[in-house]
Amino acid sequence: AFNDLISVCCDLFTMQRLLVIPGNLIYLSSGPCSVIATRSCYLSYCVQLCTLVYSLYIMVASFAYRLWILHRPSPATRALLVVLLVLYVPPSLVAFAFTFAQADIRIVREFLRQNAPLYLREPGALSGHTGLTFHLAFTIL
């Protein structure tokens, strides 16, 4: 529940639209983060991605736990906490790598000017990825 609360708070903070232009991802944030800084919107989105991936891991772990207790005794609470912490490592590494994948705002604006100029008139903070960089490919995989 705490993970979902963080995800919803990040979503509320960013209120983000994803603009997909082939080979590129542009984020238009219109939430409270747009008043603070573009970087805060992007970092909040990174945290939200981490919580969403962690939710998927927890679902798989929950299913495995249910299978486990059908044939074996319930594991100790400490063992379950260790598993939850270990499950949090991969999503946090992905989110950490994703924070370095943000393209320079000048490049994003120039890209939008050439491909979708109407979005430049909309209020909010722009960020995104132009082209497929190593950090972006790592987070997708």
**What string of pLDDT tens digits covers the 141 residues of the chain?**
898 999 999 999 999 988 888 878 889 999 999 999 999 999 999 999 889 888 988 999 999 999 989 989 988 999 989 998 998 898 888 888 888 888 888 888 888 888 888 888 888 888 888 777 666 666 665
pLDDT score for 111: 86
The C-alpha atoms of residue 14 and residue 49 are separated, in whole angstroms, by: 12
The C-alpha atoms of residue 99 and residue 136 are separated, in whole angstroms, by: 9
pLDDT score for 141: 57
pLDDT score for 140: 60
pLDDT score for 12: 94
pLDDT score for 29: 92
The C-alpha atoms of residue 94 and residue 68 are separated, in whole angstroms, by: 28
The C-alpha atoms of residue 15 and residue 13 are separated, in whole angstroms, by: 6
Buried b (16+ CB within 10 A) or exposed e, 66-82: eeeeeeeeeeeeeeeee
Which residues, 6 or more positions from 6, have their beta carbon under 8 angstroms from its beta carbon?
Answer: 47, 48, 51
pLDDT score for 8: 95
pLDDT score for 118: 87
pLDDT score for 32: 94
